Structure 1
Amino acid sequence: MRNTRTLTRRAVLTAVSVTAALVLAACGSDDADSQAGAGSSTSASAGAHNAQDVSFAQGMIPHHQQALEMAKLAADQASSTEVKDLASRIEKAQDPEIETMSGWLTSWGEKASESSGGMDSMPGMDHSAGSAMPGMMDDSDMGMLKKASGADFDTMFLTMMIEHHKGAVAMATTEKDKGRYGPATSMADDIVSAQTAEITEMNKLLGKN
């Protein structure tokens, strides 16, 4: 009887040991597979981009550059403290974004901008406005802004920048919908949020609801 109990106990202990070993082995395999999968997924998502991402960067860089050109005029020509503050914030936000987008294009082996008038085929463009990109000012608009000063400059700057921001929001919305590169779609989301808020702010400064 004692021998039977001993054999039974040994059999149970052996079965438990084998089961535990199998469970540990399975967990180890799952963890390894999970880590390997995570690594490959992270690597792929970080490097993956599509034509929309390229178009977004190539279009938004000159769009931002014109916004900076307009904003820099405010320091000497604006009369409103609110307008000067807004212009300063636009510079601080958009200058780093230009550098970031330029870095993406370099890493992708792409040019900083379309060189053959390709802007016309870019997503989110409004051809009815007669400009290559939505919200962009033409030479005549920029000429008038550069000559304006005081309250006239404030009104002109706000009016133009509202349209400029609306164009940027349209371009960023397209990127959010069709882009593939995570950092680009994330920046696009930031642009939509920030510039939509600034449009509201500028409308209030103009006395509009």
Structure 2
Amino acid sequence: MTDQQEIRHGPAAREVDRPAPNEGRLERAIAAQVRRLRQASGRTLAELAAAAGISKPMLSKIENAQTSCSLTTLARLADALDVPVTSLFRGADTEREAVYTPAGSGARIVARGTRVGHDYTLLGALRGPHKRMEAHLVTLTERSEEFPLFQHPGTELIYMLEGEMVYSHGESSYPMRPGDALQLDGEGVHGPQELITLPIRFLSVVAYGEIPSGD
């Protein structure tokens, strides 16, 4: 065997033949759903195959992710199982991020206003390739002649939980009481203007737009 042949049949060739990381994901998801639904209905392979008008060996291959069945076959299986055909695809999507913060476990953040009785608790930050969201529980316990103002990208939702205050955004002012909500453009200068009834607690959720990737 020549050196050229060794290169052609060596690691480079094996790299080409390597399966993609997500290969077979759809087949495995369909297999799990069909098997689960069939077992929940109390039917055997033969019974479901007959109801769907397909062979028992074909159904066995589907439940073992050994074949890619047609949409027609999937529709027949969905009809036989009395479920929407879309339910057979559950679990085929890529995993999605979620952030869970139990009560009292949010991180305390030192920010502008902390020294004048503003407490910021991070309830979670959801970050992805095209989006980001951050949620804070803000507690105001002291009055002050000056309050910090904020300006940031994205859109912010403020939902009042306790107390009463006046909140400013740009040239406008809004009275905020429990149950009131204010959505604002974060690029506009905003922040508490007057604290009327203490303590004040409100939920602040900032949803950032698409974050451009670096070069």
Structure number with the higher strand fraction is 2
Question: Shorter-chain-normalised TM-score: which range?
Answer: under 0.3
Q: Normalising by structure 2, report the TM-score.
A: 0.25
Give the number of the structure whose residues are more often helix, by fraction.
1
TM-score by length of 1: 0.26
